[in-house]
Chains A and B, each alone.
Chain A
Amino acid sequence: MNYRDLPSMPVAAQSTESITTGDWRTIRPVLNKDLCDRCYHCWAFCPDVSVIVEEEGSFPKVDLNHCKGCGICSTECSKQAITMVREDL
């Protein structure tokens, strides 16, 4: 690295989407589609915008490149359709 390589202003010329935080996760959310009623509470509550609903009516998916495994989706799910599972097992 050379200081000359830095931009002229202290900016990161990429959106924050380029910062993957999935590596911080020790537990991952797993959806049971039999229980999920597609209310999208998980989508609304996810603080990292990592629950993705592709179109109205589809099951929610998790963006594992950004999900930190906080478990808020699992806690907020009124149907207990999301289980947090350890990553290393």
Chain B
Amino acid sequence: MSQVSKDIIEIRFHGRGGQGAVIASEILAKAAIKEGMYASAFPSFGVERRGAPVSAFCRISSKPIWTHASIYEPDYVVILDQGLIRLTNVLQGMKSDGTAIINTSKSAEELGLPENTITFDATSAALKFGLGSQTSPIVNTAILGAFAKVCDVVPMNSILECIKQSVPAKREENAAAAEFAYGVVA
């Protein structure tokens, strides 16, 4: 069983309705549970609408999780769409030693984000593996691969297995996109 060094790790995903942020949070929780850890995942309980900003949350712990409150001070923030930084304060409440990961082809500096922000072009990665189209790429699995590299708590093998079980289509391609991202991100 993998160990979570902190008591609990809290992650917030920002995406748009239809981009798969909720599925990404659920895949992460499933993978952690597969590894014998405890985890919970929940969406922002909104009235989900395609394109509208949505958030999703995940908690991972080596102990049972009793709390059912939302997450206000995440250790990690994962942003699936760079356009969201204009609309939402994506870094709100993030712990001072927290890490943000954003899908972008630009640099953190160009986007006006803190310099320790991890940037990864998940859109190009998704398109490389035929996930979605030019106008609506499906980036959730690629960004999950990048996250797995940055937050080394849930083993990549379990994430890949859970991706294959959870995505509705193109299972191998989704897993390959995540694996590619895992390899590319420093």
Contacts and interface: CB of A to CB of B under 8 A. Distances in A.
Interface in B113-142: 134-136
B73 interface: no
Contact of B16 (A24, A71, A85): A24
Contacts of A88: 81-83
Interface string B65-89: 0000000000000000111001100
Interface stretch (B3-11, B22-30, B48-56, B178-186): B48-56
Contacts of A69: 51
A86 interface: yes
Nearest to A83: B135
B140 to A, nearest CB: 14
Q: Could you tell me the dominant secondary structure of chain B's interface residues?
A: loop
Quick one: which of A21, A23, A69, A84 has the most chain B CB within 10 A?
A: A23
Interface in A6-54: 21, 23-27
A26 B82 contact: no
A23 B51 CA distance: 8
Q: Could you tell me the dominant secondary structure of chain A's interface residues?
A: loop
Contacts of B17: 24
Contacts of B136: 26-27
A87 B51 contact: no
A66 interface: no
Nearest to A25: B51
B134 A26 contact: no
Given A23-B87, A24-B16, A86 B50 contact: no
A26 B81 contact: yes
Quick one: which of A68, A84, A88 has the most chain B CB within 10 A?
A: A88
Closest 7 CB pairs of A and B: A24-B51, A27-B135, A24-B52, A23-B87, A84-B135, A88-B83, A68-B51
Interface of B: 16-17, 49-53, 81-83, 86-87, 134-136
Interface of A: 21, 23-27, 68-71, 84-88
